Every structure is written in C-alpha cells, then in structure tokens.
Amino acid sequence: MQLIDGKTVAAAVLAECQLEIADLLQKGIQPGLAVVLVGEDPASQVYVGSKVKTCAELGMHSKKIVLPAETTQEELLEVVRQLNADPAIHGILVQSPPPPHIHEDEIIRAIDPRKDVDGFHPENVAKLVLEDPTGFVPCTPAGSMRLLAAAGIDTNGAKVVVLGRSMIVGKPMALLLMSKNANATVTVAHSRSRDLPALCRQSDILIAAVGRPEMVKADWVRDGAVVIDVGINRVPDASKKSGFRLTGDVAFEEVAPKCKAITPVPGGVGPMTIAMLMKNTLQAARQLG
C-alpha cells in the first residue's frame, strides 16, 4: 500500500511557485492575494492564517480582512468591489462558509472572475467545462489531480467514482477526470444514489468528498483501489488537548490495507489546497500583468 503524502507534493508545488514568483518580480509584478473572513469561525481562522502565512513565506503580497459576524451583505459586497479595483491584488478569496445571513452565491458572482482564484465564479466554472486553460480550477480538485499524478496513478480509461456532488469538490473533480488530459470514466455518487457501497466497489479510483466522518468502510472499496480522501472532519476526542481529532470521510485504518494507494487525513489533500491556491494566484498575476 502506497501512502500518498500531500505534504511532500505540496512542498514541490510551492517550490515551483517560488521560481514563478522570482520571474514575476523581475518583470515588476508582485503577486497579491486578499483573504476576507467574516465572523470568528475557529476552523476558518486557522485556514485563513495558513493562507496568509504561506504568502509571506513565498514573498507574495497578502491582505487579510477580518469583518465582524454582523457585517451586512452590502458591506461585504463593497469590500469585494474595492478589492476588484485594487491593482495590487490579483486574487480574491472570501472564506467559506460565511455567516447564515450572507448570500454566498451573490458574493462569488461579485468577484472579478479574473481574480476568482477559488474558481467558483460562473465564468470560471464554464471555462472548466470547456477546458479553457485561462480559467481557474477549484483548488481542492486541482490538488487531488496533482496527487494522483505524483503517485503515478494512470487515470486513462480508469473507472472513477466521485462520492459527493458539491460545486467546491465533487462536480469540478468529475469534470477534471473527464477532461481530455485525464480520460477517466466517471460516476458521480451522492446521498440519493442507490446502494452506495456497491457503486464505490466498482471503482479503480474512489474520491471521497461528502463531509461525513469515516463514512467509507472497508466493504465499500475493492482490493487494489486508489482512494483520495478529501474529507476533513472534526470529531470530539477527550484525549486530545484541542478536544477533537481530524478524520477523513474514509475509515482509514480498515480501508488502507485494501488499497494500492491512499491519502491520509491530515496530511493528504489538505496541504494541496493551499498550494494550488498559490498556483492560481500566480496564474492571475501573469494574466492580469
């Protein structure tokens, strides 16, 4: 069984980013990323902190904007409009999920698609469908594809089951796997799919992205399959100082022995998400000039 180490692959991506940044700086362009956080969700604060820290380590300009939880829709839209107009900012990310009173779709659509480094704007979704390389691919699916490539997993003709249909992971993941570069045969499964275990057992590659702790059991996975666990779930654990432990959507201990290759949680897909965000920001800086 091969353990697919996301930290090692992410480090390689960030090393590539450093070379790209040096090239951009020589051309007088300092890539800039703005991260907007509304409210005080602890997990979101950690994610935002990691993104800002990575920017600093790479020598990128970053702008962290923390707004109170009671920020109105219009106030948040005005922040986005200001960032759209700021030439020092090439990428804009509004941390998800926002407070319940914020209509996230409207915020996503307000971001200049040329600065939408999350890849969620309808224009970038369309470019993904059309396989237009000028669009931005959502970071977690892009990172998952990079992990498959780094592990030497051939997707050409492979049967892949994507478990989950969100716009953040499931749908873009399926599109990437169906692309002319990947050539996989893809089934998208979800909570309404009949006999999920049987569906998953048909796959050469299983992408688990449902957000349910350890949902995928050993009898869901055929011998020799490749499993990419996208889930990051906080599960109460009194033995931990934090009071919780992180686990994926896959019951790792029982599934791993059956696999040809599998990603751990933490340390698998997670580090790739931030690395690919940096990649997208550099793409935006090159395209905006």
Q: Which residues are catalytic?
A: 51, 95, 118
- Asked if 283 contacts 115 with a C-beta cutoff of 8 angstroms, the reply is no
CA-to-CA separations, 262 to 64, 82, 155, 219, 257, in angstroms, rounded:
34, 42, 15, 15, 9
Strand intervals (E) in the chain: 2-3, 32-38, 61-67, 91-94, 159-163, 185-189, 205-208, 226-229, 233-236, 244-247, 261-262
The amino acid occupying position 132 is: D
Residues in the chain: 289
Angle (deg, nearest 10), helices 139-150 and 269-288 = 110
Q: Which two structure tokens, joined as six digits, stand for 148?
A: 């498959």
